[in-house]
Amino acid sequence: MERQAKEIASWGKNVNVKIPVTNTQGEPAYKLIRSLAHAGIQLNVTAVFTLEQVRDIVAHLDPKTPAYVSVFAGRIADTGRDPIPLMTAAHALVHTNPRAELIWASPRELLNVFHAEQAACDIITVTNDVLAKLTNVGKDLAQFSLETVKMFRDDAVKAGFKL
């Protein structure tokens, strides 16, 4: 990973190299993170799920080198856990480093955009399908209900259902 990271970093000054928090055997990548960050390589440490990982990542970053810590809040929510308290705590940890920023990664729904803002995240990665739902923000719920009923009827007509 180190050789690959250095090669990718050479592509330009605006490149951030994505490094997973562990390798595929579950071994932490903290020494690699330290080596790359202290060499001035901008990192996006990814696949982060726990506050312990956030704490250890931040401890290995160089305060002079920009970095992102990408916490997979959407996948955390997929386990039935509320990610907002974790992300709020992660923000506090990440911002002990003046050049580090927190990413809310893997959102599942538009509401996560507002959750990320509530947790003071610096960045949220958003897919096109989630972005497309921005037109629904503040929408009248009675009108939305009617549109949904009409959609159900249209689907039934298109399917050729008759009772």
Tell me the backbone φ, ψ of residue 66, rounded to 5 degrees: -60, 145
Tell me the backbone φ, ψ of residue 22, rounded to 5 degrees: -135, 165
CA distance 2 to 19: 9
Q: How confident is the model over 25-58, as pLDDT tens digits?
A: 999 999 999 999 999 999 999 999 999 999 999 9
Q: How confident is the model over 135-157, as pLDDT tens digits?
A: 999 999 999 999 999 999 999 99
Q: Which CATH superfamily is domain 2-134 in?
A: Aldolase class I (3.20.20.70)
- The ranges assigned to domains in the chain are 2-134
Q: Which helix (H) or strand (E) holds 7?
A: helix 2-9
- Nearest 5°: CA angle at 135, between 129 and 136? 95
Predicted pLDDT at 162: 80
Catalytic (active-site) positions = 18
pLDDT at 87 over 90: yes
Q: Is the pTM of this model over 0.85?
A: yes
CA distance 103 to 60: 18
